[in-house]
Amino acid sequence: MSKTTKKSSGLSTDKNWWRQAAIYQIYPRSFADSNGDGIGDIKGITSRIPYLKSLAIDAVWLSPFYPSALADGGYDVDDYRNVDPKLGTLADFDEMLAGLHKQGIRVFVDIVPNHSSNLHEWFKEAIDAKPGSKARDRYVFRDGKGANGELPPSDWVSHFAPSAWTHESTFGGKNGQWFLHWFAPEQPDFNWENREVQKDFLKTLTFWSDRGVDGFRIDVAHGLAKDLSEPFRSMPVHEGLEQRGNKGKGIWGDRNEVFAIYKEWRKVFNQYDPPRVAVAEAYVHPERLPLYASTKTLGQCFDFRFIETPFEAAAYKAATQEAVDLAKKNKSSCTWTLSNHDQIRHATKMGLNPAVERRDWMLSNGTSHPIDMKSGTQNALAATLYILGLPGSTYMYQGEELGLHEVTDIPEKDIQDPQYLRNLKVDKGRDGCRVPLPWTSSGSSFGFGSGGAHLPQPKWFADYSVEVEEKDSLSPLSIYRKALKLRSELQTKEDIKWHKTKDISVLHYSRPNGWHCITNFRGHAYPMPKGEILVASSPLVNGRITAGTTVWFKKK
Ligand code: NOJ
Ligand code: CA
């Protein structure tokens, strides 16, 4: 018997809605603050449902809102089946979900299965328990090396810290062992061979699905199954994509055993009508993406290739064609992404000379090289329209509809991200794309709330505020709204056809119903082909498409 989503919703009945959806990522702590404490919350999201509706999106994805001490922006979860009291209650969540559903907007929540936080009940129990106990087996505890176990069990490195092992005494343990953490020490890795761990996640997926959640974004989906056979293989530098792609035999990433976990999850998803869906965050070799995107496992997998593709015609065409071919071959759908909460905002990347080493530039607080914010925003919008026209789903990140830039000059005292705090002076981290959104051009936090903002907002946020952009029919927000609405009306079969252009800097493709998209990446203005213009990312000049512009048009 399948469990059906409540009928009161305004959701479409199409079971394949996710194949070509527009999904908007909300970073809850930075979206809207309802009670003036400087932290975005669930009621804040609910209060902005009319705004979300105005974007004509199909779904929102909420980054973690669970109880967390925020060692990693909420990706350190204390309790998977609750709402952080600083962000609201489960009742607030239900109200938000019902409100979004009523407006036809589906909801994805973030599942973080690779690790819990150190404050999770199970980890606290494990720290107090003896080596070899049931409680320790839910995580990965091992004896250290050296005469007295004073050295970590292996040379493995984590994303944020030099070692992937931390001595249990850090959190008060008295048994001299070390525990594994792929990310920060406050994010201990689960032992996914443990049946209790496996069953608990089935319970979490059921918990949210029963509440009516439509889909799940799976954090570090490639990382759950690890090779923990001893002696541990050596890995003094972080495992790269090639190693992970080693036919599913890497140490940490992308091992074949991970799919047994997702096949079991699929059974939960398919108990619902419509079936729940999932998208994997899997940093794997592109050839391995289809294994995560299979309808027997998670169903969809982010394709991150456009995050690093330079804004150039040849590179965009090659990336598009590769992704489309891969999806076709595997009967999956494409998943385009330009930005998310882990990346420098794409408007900023596109306003910076591509030769600039971005990590160093960020460390200089954005001062070592000039940035052209205007052309960055313009190119970003052109890239977005290019991507929104393609077959498949598009995942967008809050603020990109405003053409928002990265905040590069967050003072050291305000930085929250472990990517900086644990890697001091090597990486500025990801706070710059997580600064609370500007809703108005004035006010203590530009309308984010009635108090301050948990990360400092720069003065220039005023010009990018919703209030300012709503009044301008050529603003990024106005063009996003127009394009997303058109996209939902124009959506058609998952095919694409390329058309020849007279300039190597111009790409032109169309979809089966005569929906055309043309982008001029750089150089001379290009004559607009014949057809009815639907939307342009920047105005045409004398009937020509200028550099950094995408136009959608229709041919009869
Ligand atoms: C990926 C998330 O997107 C990122 O923000 C987080 O730091 C890591 N996974 C660890 O959970
Ligand atoms: Ca709040």
Convert the pLDDT of each residue in 407-432 to its tens digit.
999 999 999 999 888 877 788 999 99
Predicted TM-score (pTM) of this structure: 0.97
Please state, in angstroms and rounded to a whole number, the distance separating the CA atoms of residues 176 and 193: 23
Please give the backbone phi and psi of residue 73, each rounded to the nearest 5 degrees, phi first.
55, 25
User: 7 pLDDT exceeds 80?
Assistant: no
* 209-235 mean pLDDT: 96
4, β-bridge pairs: 273
Give strand pairing partners of 335: 393
- Is there a contact between 464 and 406 (Cβ–Cβ < 8 Å)? no
For residue 418, which ligand has an atom nearest its CA?
1
Q: Say how many Å lie between the CA of residue 453 and the centre of ligand 2.
A: 10
Our mutation pick for probing the ligand 1 site, out of 62, 158, 180, 220, counting the most ligand atoms within 8 A of Cβ, is: 220
Pocket test for ligand 1, best of 78, 116, 302, 342 (most atoms within 8 A of CB): 342
Amino acid 135: pLDDT: 98
Within 10 A of 339 (CB to CB), how many other CB atoms are there?
26
Rounded to whole angstroms, how far apart are CA atoms 258 and 248? 9
Type of residue numbered 467: E
- Among protein residues, the one with the nearest Cα to ligand 1's atom 6 is 75
pLDDT of 241 reads 66
**What is the Cα 102 distance to its own chain's centre?**
25
pLDDT tens-place string over residues 489-548: 999 999 999 999 999 999 999 999 999 999 999 999 999 999 999 999 999 999 999 999
Closest residue to atom 3 of ligand 1, CA basis:
342
Alpha helices (runs of H) in 389-450, residue ranges in sequence order: 418-421
Query: Atom of ligand 1 at shortest distance to CA of 340?
Result: 3
* Cα of 330 from ligand 2 centre, angstroms: 43
Whether 160 shows a pLDDT value over 70: the answer reads yes
Residue 45, helix vs strand vs coil: helix
Residue 212 CA to ligand 2 center (angstroms) comes to 24
Average pLDDT value for residue range 333-354: 97
3 state SS of 460: helix
Residue with the nearest Cα to atom 11 of ligand 1? 75
- The number of angstroms, rounded, from the C-alpha of 272 to the middle of its chain's C-alpha atoms is 25
Q: Are the C-beta atoms of residues 496 and 484 closer than 8 Å to each other?
A: no
Tokens of 84: 């952080």
Ligand 1: lining residues by beta carbon, under 6 Å: 72-73, 75, 112, 183, 219-220, 281, 341-342
Rounded CA-CA distance 292/322 in Å is 17
85-118 residue pLDDT tens = 999 999 999 999 999 999 999 999 999 999 999 9
